[in-house]
Chain A
Amino acid sequence: MSGAEKIAVRVAEVTALNALVTRFRFEPVGGGLLPTFSGGAHTVVEMQDGEVKRLNPYSLMSDPFDQTAYTISVRRDDEGRGGSLFMHENVKVGDEMVISNPVNLFSLDLRARKHLMIAGGIGITPFLAQIKQLDRAHGNWELHYSCRSEALGSYVDYLTATHPNDVNVYYDDQKQAIDLENLLDGQPLGTHIYVCGPKGMINWVRAKADALGWPREAVHYEEFLAPQPGKPFEVKLAVSNKVIQVGEQESLLEAMERVGVDAPYLCRGGACGMCETRVIDYAGNFIHRDHWLEDDEHASGEKIMPCVSRFEGKTLVLDR
């Protein structure tokens, strides 16, 4: 979105962990080092699935300071948009792929006296990196990890072997459950909760913490804001007298630049207002993603910010 450079990687290992989860290890193409990152960060993996290009975010689970490789774990989702199936079925050792720079929407609050981590299923992955980061800084943490069964408990053996006193595992099929009320009661001031797992689990933890008087700022949860590829659409540029197609993986601004139309921009992130463009005519719906226009301007159908916003419908004519 804000134009960060992409990283070319080669798949170095593909390891099936259990019936649902497979781990991938990415090394930089052409040697060199990958950027370091902070525990909780994810990368967006680009997949060329035939005609379709898919972009899926996955938490980085390797040591944030290890610049030789990144690892991710992908849970197979038979119902989803297909990215995880593609990873499971098509990606092989030696393949080259493109991933984004690390982005962290689930970072540790480094002021915390204690980090209380609550994971459900594949939600364990960001914690693996955070634990490595905290261990290096001699941080105070505790993990409560709930999985369906022993067979599906990814990384349980590794975690309990390396941190027997700090890791607590609960198996659904053995009727074990986190005793949340007791767990939250009596935590020292300055404790922060981190929860990553199914939506239901996140809501459960947030509601319980709220009822017990925990401040909102002390409860962190992972929420993926994956860049959704938009549908292609057609635009008529009135001033330059061109009709262009905006592809699913490019912005309207990039499409204009591709055909040589000189469109102003600064931030390319929907914040600066520089690219604001007047709409001359339209029939359809705008997908406004900028932070610049006010709500009523979004509703008016008179303006669009081509660096981030898109359109769905029959006709769009711009003053460019």
Chain B
Amino acid sequence: MSKFQFPPSIISRPVYGTLEARAGKQHLMIADAEGAEALLDLAAPELMARSHIIFISRGTDYAERLKALSPQQFYEGPTYAASVSRIRRVLQDAHMGLQVYLAGTEGLMGQAQNEAMQAGIPHTAIQTEHRGSTARRMQCVHCKGITEDVAIDPFQCAHCGLNLFVRDHYSRRLAAYQGVCIDAEDPGNVPAAKGIYE
């Protein structure tokens, strides 16, 4: 699958790279869906022997191929929410020098990056590679509710029902883009929704 080229944007919007093996005794890899392909590209036997892979399948069937890489530890979870307590547990015992690799959707990478940052790894030291869906995790600035996998703009907040404009302004702490009421100045005047990158 070819990688999506995000258009250039403002500075707060995350920029993703290409995963590369780094020095370190322990390696934690977290991926969802097509993110598995980035791990498959990265895999080398010496690296895998020291790697813990946490894979969130979201209905895809990459798990067997990842397992075949013989990582030191492998876990497959259905969703991020189901996997997050395990991620926390792994980070709790980890040591400085741990290398973190994230691959897949923006929502997955943002949330996992946040866990790693909370555990004490600066965000600049965490590698990311985008694969798969370009949908966004979005916070409604009004009600603070978070909606996953937002692909269209404007969209209706799943929590409070306001029609939101999808901004590029991004908060690492919330792992979310900002949604702002689009018809505040002219209530009811809501343009037709289209894909965020259309």
Q: Which residues of A contact B (CB under 8 A)?
A: 111-113, 184-191, 210-218
Interface size class of B (residues with CB under 8 A): 10 to 19
B96 adjacent to A189 (CB under 8 Å)? yes
Given A190-B119, A190-B120, A191-B120, do A212 and B23 touch, yes or no (CB 8 Å)? yes
List residues of chain B with CB within 8 A of the CB of A184.
Answer: 96-97
Given A213-B23, A213-B24, do A187 and B95 touch, yes or no (CB 8 Å)? yes
Considering the chains assembled together, what is the distance between the CA atoms of A210 and B22 in angstroms?
11
Q: Which residues of B contact A (CB under 8 A)?
A: 22-25, 91, 94-99, 119-122, 124-125
List residues of chain A with CB within 8 A of the CB of B23.
Answer: 210-213
Considering the chains assembled together, what is the distance between the CA atoms of A217 and B24 in angstroms?
16
Find the residue from B96, B99, B125 having the highest chain A CB count within 10 A.
B96
B120 adjacent to A212 (CB under 8 Å)? no
List residues of chain A with CB within 8 A of the CB of B99.
Answer: 213
Considering the chains assembled together, what is the distance between the CA atoms of A184 and B97 in angstroms?
9
Considering the chains assembled together, what is the distance between the CA atoms of A317 and B99 in angstroms?
56
A217 adjacent to B124 (CB under 8 Å)? yes
B96 adjacent to A187 (CB under 8 Å)? yes
Selected A-B contacts with CB under 8 Å, 5 pairs: A188-B95, A189-B94, A212-B97, A215-B122, A218-B122
Considering the chains assembled together, what is the distance between the CA atoms of A131 and B99 in angstroms?
30
Chain B's closest residue to A186 (CB) is: B95
A189 adjacent to B125 (CB under 8 Å)? no
List residues of chain A with CB within 8 A of the CB of B91.
Answer: 189
B125 adjacent to A215 (CB under 8 Å)? yes
Considering the chains assembled together, what is the distance between the CA atoms of A21 and B50 in angstroms?
48
Given contact pairs A184-B96, A190-B120, A213-B22, enumerate 11 new A-B contacts (beta carbons under 8 Å).
A185-B97, A188-B96, A188-B120, A189-B95, A191-B120, A212-B24, A212-B97, A213-B23, A213-B96, A213-B97, A218-B122
Considering the chains assembled together, what is the distance between the CA atoms of A211 and B97 in angstroms?
9
Shortest Cβ distance from residue B13 to the other chain A in the assembled complex, whole angstroms: 21
Considering the chains assembled together, what is the distance between the CA atoms of A210 and B24 in angstroms?
9
Shortest Cβ distance from residue B25 to the other chain A in the assembled complex, whole angstroms: 7
List residues of chain A with CB within 8 A of the CB of B22.
Answer: 213
Q: Choose from B24, B98, B120, B125 the contact partner of A113 (Cβ within 8 Å).
A: B120
Considering the chains assembled together, what is the distance between the CA atoms of A112 and B96 in angstroms?
12
B96 adjacent to A218 (CB under 8 Å)? yes
Give me the 3 closest cross-chain CB pairs, A-B, nearest first. A190-B120, A213-B24, A215-B125
Considering the chains assembled together, what is the distance between the CA atoms of A289 and B23 in angstroms?
38
List residues of chain A with CB within 8 A of the CB of B95.
Answer: 185-189
Considering the chains assembled together, what is the distance between the CA atoms of A184 and B94 in angstroms?
13
Q: Choose from B24, B25, B98 the contact partner of A189 (Cβ within 8 Å).
A: B98
Considering the chains assembled together, what is the distance between the CA atoms of A185 and B94 in angstroms?
11
Considering the chains assembled together, what is the distance between the CA atoms of A185 and B25 in angstroms?
9
Given A211-B23, A212-B24, do A217 and B122 touch, yes or no (CB 8 Å)? yes
Considering the chains assembled together, what is the distance between the CA atoms of A218 and B125 in angstroms?
10
Shortest Cβ distance from residue A119 to the other chain B in the assembled complex, whole angstroms: 19
Considering the chains assembled together, what is the distance between the CA atoms of A218 and B23 in angstroms?
16
Find the residue from A112, A210, A214 having the highest chain B CB count within 10 A.
A214
Considering the chains assembled together, what is the distance between the CA atoms of A187 and B95 in angstroms?
5
Shortest Cβ distance from residue B19 to the other chain A in the assembled complex, whole angstroms: 15
Considering the chains assembled together, what is the distance between the CA atoms of A255 and B90 in angstroms?
62
Considering the chains assembled together, what is the distance between the CA atoms of A65 and B112 in angstroms?
39
Chain B's closest residue to A212 (CB) is: B97
Considering the chains assembled together, what is the distance between the CA atoms of A189 and B125 in angstroms?
13
Q: Choose from A189, A210, A213 the contact partner of B120 (Cβ within 8 Å).
A: A189
Chain A's closest residue to B91 (CB) is: A189
Considering the chains assembled together, what is the distance between the CA atoms of A84 and B125 in angstroms?
40
Q: Choose from A189, A190, A215 the contact partner of B124 (Cβ within 8 Å).
A: A215
Chain A's closest residue to B94 (CB) is: A189
List residues of chain A with CB within 8 A of the CB of B97.
Answer: 184-185, 212-214
Shortest Cβ distance from residue B118 to the other chain A in the assembled complex, whole angstroms: 9
List residues of chain A with CB within 8 A of the CB of B120.
Answer: 111-113, 188-191
Considering the chains assembled together, what is the distance between the CA atoms of A215 and B22 in angstroms?
11
Shortest Cβ distance from residue B42 to the other chain A in the assembled complex, whole angstroms: 16
Shortest Cβ distance from residue B198 to the other chain A in the assembled complex, whole angstroms: 38
